[in-house]
Amino acid sequence: MNKGFDPIFDENSRVLILGSFPSKKSRDVGFYYGNKQNRFWKTLAMIFDHAPLETINEKIDFLKSHNIALYDVIAESDIEGSADQALIKSNNALTSLGPLLPPHTKVEKILCNGKAAFNILCNSPITIPIIYLPSTSPANVSFNPADWFRELNFLK
């Protein structure tokens, strides 16, 4: 089984961004959204008018300084590649989101990076608003950073 990454959060987190499971390139790099073509880190830097985020420590510090928690809905998977279709057909173990939600944090809403994360999470009993956002994956040709800006603007 491939293991996902530990969550990034603290007690001041106000929004939780959830992906589905790390891509093969992310697993090789050892951190979230490790594919240089993925728009995730570029989009967050743009929204918050921040310099490009290069190192893992810069990315962690950025998330915490903007009260953003980051995790995936799947903790372990026997997926071979990266495609969501392969993920759906894989054996998966879901994550436990309890420690990332109130009363442990100040999370007001959950943003799902893509349909796979959204579809999995919609079956949960979570009462915090769950919002679908278009995937930042380079495979998503309909990506629009304005969708992300709209949902994260309240943190500025």
- Domain range spanning residue 6? 2-155
Say what the pLDDT of residue 114 is.
Answer: 93
Given a cut of 70, is residue 84 above it in pLDDT? no
Number of structural domains found in the chain: 1
CATH assignment of the domain containing 84: 3.40.470.10
Query: What is the C-alpha to C-alpha distance for residues 126 and 32, in angstroms, rounded to an integer?
Result: 23
Residue 36 half-sphere exposure toward CB, CA atoms < 13 A? 2
Beta strand extents in 15-120 (DSSP E only): 15-19, 68-72, 74-77, 92-94, 109-113
Say what the pLDDT of residue 80 is.
Answer: 72
Which pLDDT band holds residue 1 (cuts at 50, 70, 90)? confident
Say what the pLDDT of residue 59 is.
Answer: 98
Query: What is the C-alpha to C-alpha distance for residues 66 and 40, in angstroms, rounded to an integer?
Result: 15
pLDDT in tens, 93-135: 788 999 999 999 999 999 999 998 999 898 889 999 999 999 9
Given a cut of 60, is residue 88 above it in pLDDT? no
Question: What are the residues whose beta carbons fall under 8 Å from the beta carbon of 93, sequence distance 6 or more?
Answer: 1, 74, 75, 76, 77
